[in-house]
Structure 1
Amino acid sequence: MRVTQGCFSFLPDLTDDQIRSQVQYCLDNGWAVNLEFTDDPHPRNTYWEMWGLPMFDLRDAAGVMKELSDCRRVHGDKYIRMSAFDATHTWESLRISFIVNRPADEPGFDLIRQEREGRRIAYTTRSYAANQPEGRRYGG
């Protein structure tokens, strides 16, 4: 199962040149870029681990691509996403976020059906990756 989160999630994975172009677009707009990684990509898991600090002072995509390369070297078996934050007054939020690295095997999610009172049915999802302890998911 292919995890689809963020911009471009229904497209084929971006090449490094395409990622570099997106990063440069973000930097040209004055947005701070950061990298995050996780081994639990559940849609409600919004708190991924940060790779270093947000790159507020960069103006060239080469610096971000170097950090991405370093992050992939250490966490290449996990999901890595790039996000860009716009600190403009009244915006102060993410402008873009997309996955730039995936593990070789994406086990997907289990859909859990729960029957409730009054014939109500509720559904929730659980990542198959969460069956393993943190740090040992995806063969790590």
Structure 2
Amino acid sequence: MRLTQGAFSFLPDLTDEEIRLQVDYGLERGWAWAIEYTDDPHPRNTYWEMWGTPMFDLRDGAGVLHALNECRKACGRGYIRLCAFDSTRGVESIRMAFIVNRPDEEPGFGLDRQEGEGRNMRYRLHGYAADRSPEERYRADP
């Protein structure tokens, strides 16, 4: 299963050069970049862990790539995404977000169905990543 969230999710994984081009595109428009990571990419899990702070004063894409590579070293077995913030209207809103790192094996999701009162059906989407023990989910990368 391939997770499809954010821009470019139906394309093959971007190379570092392609990532750099997207970062430069955002910087040219005055957007600030942030790096986020998680091991549970459930569609309703919109708040991933932030790697450092958003890079509001950065003007060179090399800084974003450097921080991304540091995040890959520490969290390379999970999902990592880049988010571009636009503050031109006084509100930090995301203009672009895309996944730049995936685990070797993506665990996927299950759809649970439960029959309720009056023949009502309830559905729940759960990530298989959450089925693993905390020791397995959160152990440090080798």
TM-score (norm 2): 0.92
State whether structure 2 residue 43 is matched by structure 1 residue 43: yes
Percent pairwise identity: 61
| Paired residue secondary structure (2:62) | helix
User: Any conservation in 2 of the 1:84–1:95 contact (CA below 8 Å)?
Assistant: yes
Superposed displacement of residue 91, structure 1: 5.7
Instruction: Kindly provide the amino acid, as one letter, of the partner of residue 118 in structure 1.
Output: G
Aligned to 2:3: 3
Q: Is 2:54 the counterpart of 1:54?
A: yes
State the Cα deviation string for residues 25-64 of structure 1 (Å, max 9, x = none). Answer: 1111111100010000101011111100000001110000
Which shifted more, 104-113 or 127-136?
127-136
Q: CA deviation at 1:90?
A: 6.3
Aligned to 1:2, what secondary structure does the other structure show? Answer: coil
The alpha-carbon deviation at position 16 of structure 1 amounts to 0.7
- Consecutive unaligned residues of structure 2, counting only runs of 5 or more, are none
Give runs of ≥4 in structure 1 deviating > 6 Å: none
Distance (Å, rounded) in 2 between the aligned partners of 1:116 and 1:108: 26
Q: Which runs of 5+ in 1 are unaligned?
A: none
Alpha-carbon shift at residue 136 of structure 1 (Å) = 2.1
Residues 105-120 of structure 1: matches in 2 within 5 Å?
Answer: 105-120=105-120
Q: Partner of 2:31 in structure 1?
A: 31
1:60 and 1:13 map into 2 onto residues whose CA distance is: 22
Letter in 2 for 1:54: P
The aligned runs of 1:1-140 (5 Å cut-off) are 1-89=1-89, 92-134=92-134, 136-137=136-137
Pairwise CA RMSD: 1.7
Secondary structure, aligned partner of 1:8: coil
SS in 1 for 2:36: strand
Cα gap change, 1:7 to 1:135, in 2 (>3 Å): farther
